[in-house]
């Protein structure tokens, strides 16, 4: 049974755990607990302080993904295709093949439904595993980020897009900031897993940006739960080191050749 089959088997039986990683050290920790590790284009804001994910390049994604791969032994490894790397089928296939060949990831993730459905079909036809992404789409979102599924026409579109993506052959769909009852409806109607981020407990799994849950990247967003304050721990450790250096307590003889 491969990783995709194992993931599908969890549908309606066991919640799927997903987190983001941008480096080997973090990935090696996550790999003990996660079903899916995603190198998200969220690295643009988390690591590079970009105002949006639209500035993230293919080269950035590949470099971080190479590092992450070194820390993964068991999790399904997915890489975001960044903005302007899948504007047409030919471009998408070329870039997806580059990502997979250079990073050894298991799959790529694309944002959108009907608008990119032919591209998704083309990738899958060419043996590129694809994860879908619906609801809030950071690569195309302009202005304030709001949850999706409040209006009837918006609800219908997201639902139809989910069905289209499933028919196209995606192995799972990320639902970002999708209204709870709509996320429930989509999850129940699909045979493939849904992974929620701000889309309720009804989804088959959940994903967060690891830096957010660790308190390294503070964002006041409703769907984020902070599980630790790593920033405080790092500050205390650096403060102690700084004090030791200034007071000539480090390095001691045992730290010296």
Q: Which amino acids are annotated catalytic?
A: 176
* 3 state SS for the chain: CCHHHHHHHCCCCCCEEEEECCCHHHHHHHCCCCCEEEECCCHHHHHHCCCCHHHCCHHHHHHHHHHHHCCCCCCEEEEECCCCCCCCHHHHHHHHHHHHHHHCCCEEECCCCHHHHHHHHHHHHCCCCEEEEEECCCCCCCCCCCCECCCHHHHHHHHHHHHHHHHHCCCEEEEECECHHHHHHHHHHCCCCEEEECCCCCCCEEEECHHHHCCCCCCCCCCCCCCCCHHHHHHHHHHHHHHHHHCCCCCCHHHCC
């Amino acid at each position: 049974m491969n990783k995709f089959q194992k993931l599908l088997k969890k549908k309606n039986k066991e919640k799927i755990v997903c987190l983001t990683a941008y480096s080997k050290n973090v990935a090696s920790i996550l790999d003990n607990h996660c079903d899916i590790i995603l190198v998200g284009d969220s690295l643009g804001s988390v690591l590079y302080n970009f105002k949006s994910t639209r500035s993230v390049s293919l080269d950035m994604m590949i470099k971080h993904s190479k590092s992450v791969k070194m820390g993964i032994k068991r999790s399904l490894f997915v890489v975001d295709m960044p903005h302007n790397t899948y504007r047409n089928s030919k471009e998408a296939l070329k870039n997806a093949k580059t990502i997979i060949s250079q990073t050894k990831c298991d799959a790529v993730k694309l944002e959108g439904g009907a608008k990119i459905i032919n591209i998704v079909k083309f990738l899958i036809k060419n043996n590129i595993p694809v994860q879908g992404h619906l609801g809030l789409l950071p690569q195309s979102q302009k202005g304030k980020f709001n949850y999706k599924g409040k209006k009837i026409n918006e609800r219908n579109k997201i639902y139809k897009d989910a069905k289209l993506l499933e028919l196209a052959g995606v192995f799972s769909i990320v639902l970002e900031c999708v209204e709870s009852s709509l996320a429930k409806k989509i999850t129940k109607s699909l045979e493939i897993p849904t992974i929620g981020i701000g889309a309720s407990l009804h989804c088959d799994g959940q994903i967060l940006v690891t830096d957010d849950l660790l308190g390294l990247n503070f964002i006041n967003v409703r769907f984020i739960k902070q599980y630790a304050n790593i920033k405080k721990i790092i500050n205390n450790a650096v403060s102690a080191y700084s004090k030791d250096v200034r007071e000539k307590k480090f390095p001691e003889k045992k730290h010296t050749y």
